Structure 1
Amino acid sequence: MSGRRGLGARWRRRRPLRTRLAIATSAAVAVVAVGICVAAFFITRDQMIRQLEVNLVQTGNQYAQQYRTQGPSAGDKGCQYLAVPCIQSVPADPSRDPREPYALDVDDTVRAVAAGRQAPYYEERTVAGWPVRVYTTRLRGKDMALQVALRSDIVDKGVRKAAVALAGVGGVGVLLAAGLGYWVSRTGLAPVARLTATAERIAATRDARHRIELPAGPPGREDEITRLAASFNTMLGELEQSVAAQRRLVADASHELRTPLTALRTNAELLARSGRLTDTQRDRASGALSRQLREVTTLVNDLIELARDEEPQPLVEQVRPAALLEHAVEAARGHWPEIDFTVRTDEAAAGATVPGVPARLSRLLSNLLDNAAKFSPPGGPVETGLTASAGVLELTVRDHGPGISADDLPHVFDRFYRAEAARALPGSGLGLAMARQIARAHHAELTAAQAPGGGAVFRLRFPAG
């Protein structure tokens, strides 16, 4: 059995889907067609035999009265002619048999019918070399049986003709099934063939801009194959955007890394000739090298963080944003002692929790606070707040710096984007991009806007739990 299953599996692997579908469809329709023809054959044969038996019963009823008024009759062999019956009456007592031999053979079953011990019945016999069907019944009121016979070869000929006709119809049905299976496979799998060709073309060219042509039709009434093709096109669009974003990230990262790496190489080469440098020059070069190493390390770590698409599920837990905000503000005060950080938390938001990864949410808040402190004037305030209303938890970070221009506002969360006013400030341009990515991974929304009275305000909204 396992060998047969293995052979069937190999056959399926070696045959294209279109061929297998055509064969399966053809076989199914052919089986139905042949089954209908076989059923029609048996029904036709039974009906013809039934009609012959009805003729025998009607003939017997016609002659029953005549044979009740006379004694036993040996009958004749008229049934050797078409439509001519052979009729004889047989007594239950063999001593009353006529002197002439019976045209139809008489046995104990016929005597039992004559005596009323056996029900009427039909049987096949041969008379003068011709097949006949015999009907044996009891004559009411007399201990005699009436036998009526008619030739049955006409039924056999009709059955053979029906068999030939139905066999021809079945053959035509099988041919039509083969054609129908081929048409169904070509028509039904045409979108699949286009999808396969597109996938192969993308694999060969590595170009995700290709799309599958969708058939025109009313929206909302697409079949499964069309929906599959539409989903594949959507997937290709997402893949194209992902590839484009990856290429932009690589290009931007290479551009951003070029300057610090060049400075690192310069300072490293300078320190390699430290014998020619004064102590002051050597200390300055060593400090610059350390500072540039930290910048490169921070940049690489930020890039690694941005490469993550979602948070690891095993690390997700219920987190209190109020506690995280307090901790992040305390850390920011240590990094930016010249900035005045304030925290305002509503009573309803103090005990609220959201699902998330604490370390990642802390990184999001620290990025927002560092960005606000970087643009605030020395001694200026950075205001943070946490409120809860209508099932939405909102965290805000506001500075009183120059704010965000209308041209820069759509791009503040782009990777490596730095506004004109921020070109001279430290940073890689990845902090806000990383903050938005962490927010999206936690199903939260992070937005930026101009604050009333100057400065910028960032809002982080968590959905209702």
Structure 2
Amino acid sequence: MALAATTAVAVVAVGMCVAAYLIVRTQLNHQLELNLTQYARLVAQRNHGAGPGVVSGECRFLAAPGCAQVVPADPRDDPGAPYVLPVTDTARAVAAGRRAPYYTKTTVAGHPARMLTTDLAPGRALQVAVRSDTVERGLHQVANLLTLTGAVGVVTAGFLGSWVARTGLAPVTRLTATAERIAATRDPRHRIALAPPGGGPAPEDEITRLAASFDTMLEELEKSVTARRRLVADASHELRTPLTALRTNAELLTRADRLTPQQRDRASAAVHRLLREVNGLVADLIELARDEEPRPLLERVALAPLLEHTVSTARDHWPGVPFELRVTAAPVVPGVPARLTRLIGNLLDNAAKFSPPGMPVRVGLDGNELTVRDHGPGIAEEDLPYVFDRFYRATTARALPGSGLGLAMALQIARAHGAELTAERAPGGGALFRLTFPG
């Protein structure tokens, strides 16, 4: 950026200096030509009838008015004395009337001069010249001043461009340093300082917006890393108890010859139960760790038959709990059938787990809204904000089977399908879960 800014300023400065020099040169030459024209008129008035020859030969003096001579169209009419100004065929053409008057540069007595050749009378031309030393010297001084000015401008532009580049790219430098620290420490808690070093609000520009977007990305990354770490910590805590019990029962079965048949049966049943529990917990953890299903895997799912199948499966799994199903309007939604079955199954299992014996679990489907209501103790007000958290177990649920992942998994599946899942206290007691699909 500094090089680009310096180059741009240099191009502009050089262009302006060249333009200024050309304008000054044009104006000085124009003024010199006006002086020549006036001098030619004065000489013509005084020497209108003069014959060929030198009229005034003072060009060798800078302060003198100049020199003048009359040139005939025919070289044979030239005087015997030499001319002080160069005579060319073009000058004789002006004398003969075949060419218009013109200006030209020449040298007189070793000094630069400006000469005008114009017509004087038929068959004669007048040549006048004045020294242009002052003009040449002035142009030389102007060129030196403009060159110096341009050089100073370019150097100043270089310093200013470097300062502007460093100041403007400071957020990018901090962003790079933050990214390098995160790559080295694997800690996404670092942030970019958006405010300038001297304090005050951050400027509103593209670089600052980039830094703000990077900070937002880091915040989301930190949340994701924290959630994964919490998931691993909670999973290790939840797995520790069943694995310890499984190991204890397995070690007990290795000494089966010392156990009674009843003890062996109890230990074997405990091993099988614990294996199922650990297997279910690991499956739930894998499900929670999965990302949202890719869009190509989505298909159109009719909710009514899927709900009937899920309720039928729940009846087999909970034979002591009656399930009442009511379908008013059955929509077709985009989704993954296996994951939707898991979502509804988790809601039904949760309702059946809390339902008293003989009390029904009511399942309703009305358009895009699915409700699951039980008649259990309900959800305490202090537990409502946390019912969908991973491994959260309410006080009334700690004595019941389960790992505390079912509702968290249901919420994740619902969000992956663009649906909304909420929990509330049902009128008359119990819990009511609402699953609303996008319309």
What's the offset of the Cα at 1:152?
1.9
Task: Give distance in 1, aligned partners of 2:247 and 2:209.
Answer: 55
Q: Secondary structure at the match of 1:400?
A: coil
Amino acid at match of 1:238: E
Task: Give distance in 2, aligned partners of 1:144 and 1:326.
Answer: 123
Which residue of structure 2 lines up, in the alignment, with residue 297 of structure 1? Answer: 279
Q: Secondary structure at the match of 1:122?
A: strand
Aligned residue among 396, 400, 424 for 1:425: 400
Task: Give distance in 1, aligned partners of 2:239 and 2:426.
Answer: 33
Q: Aligned pair 1:90/2:65, yes or no?
A: no
What's the offset of the Cα at 1:149?
1.3
**Aligned residue runs from structure 1 range 11-410, under 5 A:** 21-82=1-62, 84-139=65-120, 142-215=122-195, 222-347=204-329, 350=330, 352-388=331-367, 393-410=368-385
- CA gap of 1:108–1:262, structure 2 versus 1, over 3 A, is same
**Aligned residue runs from structure 1 range 444-455, under 5 A:** 444-455=419-430
- Percent identical residues: 67
Q: What count of residue pairs does the alignment treat as equivalent?
A: 435
Preserved CA contact (<8 Å) 2:114 2:129:
yes
TM-score under structure 2 normalisation? 0.91
Amino acid at match of 1:89: V
Preserved CA contact (<8 Å) 1:67 1:89:
no
Preserved CA contact (<8 Å) 2:325 2:363:
yes
Amino acid at match of 1:259: T
Task: Give distance in 1, aligned partners of 2:283 and 2:124.
Answer: 114
- CA gap of 1:151–1:346, structure 2 versus 1, over 3 A, is farther
Preserved CA contact (<8 Å) 2:97 2:122:
no
- Which of 307-316 and 410-419 deviates more? 307-316
What's the offset of the Cα at 1:435?
0.8
- Which of 150-159 and 291-300 deviates more? 150-159
Q: Secondary structure at the match of 2:56?
A: coil
- CA gap of 1:306–1:97, structure 2 versus 1, over 3 A, is same
Task: Give distance in 2, aligned partners of 1:191 and 1:159.
Answer: 48
What's the offset of the Cα at 1:252?
0.7
Task: Give distance in 1, aligned partners of 2:70 and 2:385.
Answer: 112
What's the offset of the Cα at 1:416?
0.5
Preserved CA contact (<8 Å) 1:72 1:98:
yes
Task: Give distance in 2, aligned partners of 1:88 and 1:321.
Answer: 115
Which residue of structure 1 lines up, in the alignment, with residue 387 of structure 2? Answer: 412
Task: Give distance in 2, aligned partners of 1:327 and 1:395.
Answer: 15
- CA gap of 1:366–1:79, structure 2 versus 1, over 3 A, is same
Q: Give deviations 1:323-381, integer Å, cap 9, x for gaps.
A: 4323322322222233222333334xx2x333322222221111111111211123322
- Which of 354-363 and 263-272 deviates more? 354-363
Preserved CA contact (<8 Å) 2:377 2:429:
yes
Root-mean-square deviation (Å): 2.4
Task: Give distance in 1, aligned partners of 2:257 and 2:20.
Answer: 109
Aligned residue among 413, 423, 427 for 1:438: 413
Q: Give deviations 1:68-95, integer Å, cap 9, x for gaps.
A: 4444443333222225222223232333
- CA gap of 1:112–1:342, structure 2 versus 1, over 3 A, is farther
Unpaired segments ≥5 residues, structure 1:
1-20
Q: Secondary structure at the match of 2:382?
A: coil
Preserved CA contact (<8 Å) 2:192 2:215:
yes
Q: Secondary structure at the match of 2:54?
A: coil
Preserved CA contact (<8 Å) 1:68 1:142:
no
Q: Give deviations 1:420-456, integer Å, cap 9, x for gaps.
A: 1111211111010011111122222211111111111
